[in-house]
Chain A
Amino acid sequence: MQPRVFQVGILQLKPSKGKRAQNLEHLKTVMQELLSAGEKPDVLVLPEGALTGYFLQGGVRELAVTRDQLFEELEDLWREVWDAPLDVVIGFFERSDNDYYNSGMYAQLGGEHAGIKHVHRKVFLPTYGVFDEERYQSRGAGFEAFDTRFGKSAIVICEDAWHTITTTICALKGAEVIYIPSASPVRNLEGEEPSNVRYWHNLVSGIAAEHGVFVVLSSLPGFEGGKGLMGASALFHPRGHIVARAAILEEAVLISNIYLDEIQPARYENPLLSDLRAGLPGMIVSLEEALKWVR
């Protein structure tokens, strides 16, 4: 039996605000540079708002695209530079009929089963402090795990991951790899790293270890109107440790193998997901009771 392994490339790229065509060109250049360097990841993972920037306010109206349009753009780009099937996970602002969403797409470019595998629409839209998402975008509904060439996968976007019930649902539905496109402005510089970098890494490390899943955090870098986006993308192992991570603020490409066969021994040692499944009926009752507090 073949080992279940694939290579992920986290593209921590800084978009120019609003310049979709320019940012697609930048992506193309980076893909060409990867090939020139002899690197050919199986899955490329880009951050939230990867081709537009994150803080758009009402500019979502000008910059949102349909999922089909984005797929065509990526497929055109892939056809120009890549010579084998390629999977892509990318955060984008989605237009659908008359609504806008902050979405993440998993697509296979080229190959027998090419196409959009899944689009997750962000459920938890931060609308506090520096964030104002729900003013401009609609909420998605729910979390799915979906089949890919490289294991069962799920996408949660940025604040979605801060509610760990979301990744719990993904893991219960069978996800082995959870992709998190994100954009997190740096704040509170009292420690060795900004407080949100520490928080993100601790949080995602916990998600990976609790459920025995790989987690790919692809986080936007660079500055947007004085707000420094953290970068610090990372790959988290099912045992909870960080396999590799990028620096804060600046562009980076992170390439790593993901050995899906390492999930099973991690879950054998800490069968928390299995325990959760066993205890789930009781938890559901408790959750329904907790709904009484939702007014």
Chain B
Amino acid sequence: MGALTIIKPSNKGESIDLNYALVEQFLIEFLREEVTRVKGFNKIVLGLSGGVDSAVVAALGVKAFGAQNVIAIRMPHKMSSPSSLSDAVIVAEKLGIKLETIDITNMVEGYAQQVPGMSNRRKGNVMARARMIVGFDMAEALGALHLGTGNKTERLFGYYTWHDIADTGPVSPLGDLLKTQVWGLAKHLELPEVVISKAPSADLEANQTDESDLGITYARADVIIHHYLKAYSDHYIESLGFTKDEIELVKRKINATHWKRALPIHAMVSSTAIHEFYLRPVDFRL
């Protein structure tokens, strides 16, 4: 008799890796539907920050609408990292898209001069919202639609400025992809290595990185998020190799920021309150 064959799979939890070719197909079709067929636009505008999220959206835009119909805008402030600007150029050249530069320093500083003592945090928020103004205005000027670039991890962590350029795009292809999945898609799309491998940063303050702000790496946070959202217990997630502190940190961030993922709150005084009693889907038209 031969040696006994024992098959004993180890528990690694659910994989968060995706079939990125399928994701690409899905998101291209999504963009064509929502931008063109539903909203009637053939052109898109997006803020190209030099980071991976906007680079992926730009690449998907090129596949959906053609390079000539994707307009990328760099929006530097004098405090912005020079590498953000040069990385945006690398992405635009790789994709063959038009890259405009609109410096927001005067917008931001013009306001800042009127309110002395502005903290870095406040100024970062003003920068993010100044970019939102540019995004909408350039979309209007160019007859294009401004796309959102936010990913699921930052949405769940509330790690963005409410109503910034990434948050306000009427169509947002990455909002259900975790950050590590955005990286996976970026690799599949063969985006420049420099935007995939650099430390993610909102670049709203000097030497800022996402992972130091958040206190956990995306690689670890995303696995916890995935299992937490799918109703796995803390005990189960711990068994996958995560600490109680890490799990608590992720849950705390998610549960402190539900408001940020919702529309503004309206006082309900009737039995026909919009989104409470009167419910129609976003694409409902008679």
Contact = CB atoms under 8 A, between A and B. Distances in A.
B283 A192 contact: no
Interface in B243-286: 278-286
Contact of A19 (B15, B279, B285): B285
A40 B29 CA distance: 31
Interface residues of A, number: 25
B193 interface: no
A191 interface: yes
A179 to B, nearest CB: 26
A228 B19 contact: no
B26 interface: yes
Interface of B: 15, 17-19, 22-23, 25-26, 29-30, 33-34, 38, 278-286
Contact of B33 (A19, A55, A223): A223
Contacts of A250: 29
A235 interface: no
> Secondary structure of the A side of the interface?
loop
A172 to B, nearest CB: 36
20 contacts: A17-B283, A17-B285, A18-B284, A18-B285, A55-B281, A58-B278, A58-B279, A189-B19, A190-B18, A190-B19, A191-B22, A193-B22, A223-B29, A223-B38, A224-B281, A226-B30, A228-B26, A228-B29, A228-B30, A249-B29
A186 B282 CA distance: 18
Interface string A220-256: 0011111010000000000000000000011000000
A189 B26 contact: yes
Contacts of B22: 189, 191-194
A282 interface: no
Contacts of B26: 186, 189, 194, 228, 249
Given A189-B23, A193-B22, A17 B30 contact: no
B18 A225 contact: no
Given A190-B18, A194-B22, A224 B283 contact: yes
Interface string A191-231: 11110000000000000000000000000001111101000
Contact of B284 (A57, A190, A193, A223): A57
A57 B280 contact: yes
